[in-house]
Amino acid sequence: MTTHEFILALDQGTTSSRAIVFDRDGAVRGTGQREFRQYYPQPGWVEHDAGEIWSSQLEVAREALRNAGAAAADIAAIGITNQRETTLIWDRATGRPLARALVWQDRRTAPLCEQLRRDGHAEWLQQRTGLVVDAYFSGTKLAWLLEHVPGARQAAQRGELAFGTIDTWLVWQLTGGAVHSTDATNASRTMLYDLHAQDWNDDILELLRIPRSLLPTVAPSSGEIGRSLPELLGGAIPIAGVAGDQHAATFGQACFEPGMAKNTYGTGCFMLMNVGDRPVASSNSLLSTLGWSLPDPSGTRCTYMLEGGIFVAGAAVQWLRDGLGIIQRSADIESLAAQVDDTDDVFMVPAFAGLGAPHWDPYARGTIVGLTRGTTRAHVARATLESIALQSAELMACMNADSRIDLSELRVDGGATRNDLLMQMQADVLGVPVVRPRVAESTALGAAGLAGLATGFWASQEEFAAQWKADRRFDPAWSADRREARMARWRQAVEHAKGWGKRG
């Protein structure tokens, strides 16, 4: 075996840490995965133990190398992709977190966001960051930690603390605290970063009372930012690619031309559309975000996206499994839902963590409507799957309107894409083909691609894109009238879910 045959991708997700070794053909050569604990201290609060995230990520990285039969000398670079917006602070001297990380799903800062809107800050914040004011993003989470963790604000003002999203935390750990850095995609999700100036925004920092000294440097998504400590993985390996999970998945799906889009089906569901080298402001409550930033002879070249995020997708299937016990394994939902031809007018709105785009209602709550005495487990299972497809169809309609481009196909990835019934539902309610790639690990592959481009493992984006191959194409079978009738009924169901957390 010659040296530098592989790329190691670290894929740190909301419910598990994964690592994948890829070869030059983009094929998976070794993997490792570990779930970690979710903490729910109060309704609407979601936390992670940052120490457990790091230990599980290191463990699976070593496992993936073993399973690939690879040593550190065989690895050209490490690429990192991560759950976005999840927020933590730690002591620069000891490296110890001051509190558990606040997960992107956490809604505790909804009142602060409401206050920001009441005070008239929403419009200018969206103009600068591309984001709507919502508890989803890191900025208000960081403000909450500084306000509520004993001694945090004083320590931050003394320059003793570091803030990071999960990519920053992993880079800090991999380099033994030598590098405090994020990439432009993760920075663009904090609500602290100016999308146009490509820098942290001092006006926003002042508004949220966040010292600039807390913040990491912002690097391109592709480019060496440091090397791993030799003792961690058996040798010093360049860390050369970093991107938030949805951006990495879009890159892994080779959506390199304006108008191309992908949807990732995981804990949540996230659709991103490439809109080119300039941000597009949304008139339909979508987000403008950085897709990736790449080194260029004239500086840094940025690609921008429109994004719509669904907070609960696969998590709704997990709830059927863990909360209701109507399936034993998540994969069982497909056969159960297939026992009926339709939902019998049952709709499930999985707003367990509020509603994201295009509704942005933190007080929405999960709702099932249309139940009758004839409703069975199968109807509820089918309605749960259909809720994922219907939410995604809402996003695509908004993207078509904002971009003025009607998508011709949707590329898909994530664990739920193995569910053929769901993929057919998605094609039916969208009215365009849904294309599942041969390599399902688009998120990790995108991180690998960014790292590989930086180190010459792949010579160009075109060489990397040539690896993308379709596994299966799902063509829509519904008429336009049937699609519109279903979407209209879905919108009625959503109205029942809205604002429930504020009632009474």
Binding residue numbers for ADP: 14, 18, 267, 314, 415, 419
3-state secondary structure of 379: helix
The binding site for sn-glycerol 3-phosphate consists of: 14, 84-85, 136, 245
The binding site for ATP consists of: 14-16, 267, 314, 318, 415
Q: Are strands 269-276 and 261-265 parallel, antiparallel or unpaired?
A: antiparallel
3-state secondary structure of 409: coil
Q: Given phi > 0 = left and psi -120 to 50 = alpha, else beta, which region is 133?
A: beta
Q: How far is the C-alpha of 334 from the C-alpha of 311, rounded, in Å?
A: 21
Q: Given phi > 0 = left and psi -120 to 50 = alpha, else beta, which region is 207?
A: alpha
Q: What's the gap between Cα 431 and its chain centre?
A: 25
Produce one character per residue of 466-481: b if its CB has 16 or more CB atoms within 10 Å, e if not.
ebbeeeeebebebeee
State the DSSP H helix or E strand holding residue 101, giving kind and residue range, or none if neither.
Answer: strand 101-102
The one-letter amino acid at 440:
A
State the DSSP H helix or E strand holding residue 129, giving kind and residue range, or none if neither.
Answer: helix 122-129
3-state secondary structure of 406: coil
The binding site for glycerol consists of: 84-85, 136, 245-246
The binding site consists of: 14-16, 18, 84-85, 136, 245-246, 267, 314, 318, 415, 419
Q: Which token pair is 85? A: 């917006």
Report the candidate in 257, 295, 120, 125 with the shortest Cα–Cα distance to residue 195: 125
Q: How far is the C-alpha of 226 from the C-alpha of 174, rounded, in Å?
A: 9
The Cα angle at residue 111 between residues 105 and 117, in degrees rounded to 5: 105
Cis omega before residue 358 (within 30°)?
Answer: yes
